Structure 1
């Protein structure tokens, strides 16, 4: 029976930044450990970075609180950023003055930021051990040898004479 890992999330809705700009920072932290992600966001110079830091901290606090409340055995050092999403919120339509009494319309974009953290299954490091990877490498080498043997097979002599 497979045990599902608990996911803890936090949201920041209606943030005054375009989703594209928020995704630039969120892509930096996806898949990283929570501590490393917090350090990365703390030193990022984008305007949305402090908001993302606050959301990530909130997700971490949610994990701590819910694990205490539900009695889960949660290792906070083993948490990582599972999802970091910037969805588009509603757009605010605005008007900018233009030459000769005209007006140009533009849109101010809003973003909904969602960050989920979960506990990493098994080994907390991303590096796989050589013993685990060895059977997979052997199978890959065998497959490569078979495909190489098929491609290097010699053509019949009759086809060579016809081509010349």
Structure 2
């Protein structure tokens, strides 16, 4: 028998499957466009949308949703058929600052933006 602290550390007894990707090398603006397409959709419908959306963020979100599904089914014993995308959000991560040389000894800055992406799957009541 596991103690309450051990159960909480393992995530047993939660009613959700969560997956987080930090420092993804894509702007959070680009990710939010695709996230809006899959919010509040059931799992299979969200997978279909992501497979056929020609955006860079869709492959990242597809992998993240599979991870969240595995966490929900394996760790928390939820039913795969009843899962839906309850929450999905992308926040801005640190920006990598790079320099592009320009004419006459000048330089322009290039901002390579990163994001932190979170997907939460829950069971329908």
**Normalised by the size of structure 2, how large is the TM-score?**
0.85
- By how many angstroms is 1:106 displaced? 2.2
Residue equivalent to 1:23: 32
2:59 corresponds in structure 1 to 50
Aligned to 1:41: 50
- Larger proportion of strand: 2
Larger radius of gyration: 1
Equivalent position to 2:100, from 96, 102, 106:
96
For 1:11 and 1:44, the matched residues in 2 are separated by: 21
Query: Structure 1, residues 27-53: CA drift from partner, whole Å, max 9, x if none?
Result: 100000011001100111001211100
RMSD of aligned residue pairs (Cα, Å): 1.2
Superposed counterparts of 1:10-159, under 5 Å: 10-68=19-77, 74-121=78-125
Gaps of 5+ in 1: 69-73, 122-164
- Take 2:93 and 2:57, find their aligned partners in 1: how far apart are those partners? 15
Q: What is the aligned length?
A: 112
Moved over 3 A (4+): none
Deviations 1:53-82 (A, max 9, x none): 0000100010111134xxxxx332111000
| Structure 1 length-normalised TM | 0.65
CA distance in 1, matches of 2:17, 2:72: 5
Secondary structure class of the residue paired with 1:44? coil
Report the Cα offset of residue 21 of structure 1.
0.2
Q: In 2, Cα distance between the equivalents of 1:32 and 1:93?
A: 36
Partner Cα separation in structure 2 for residue 93 and residue 75 of structure 1: 44
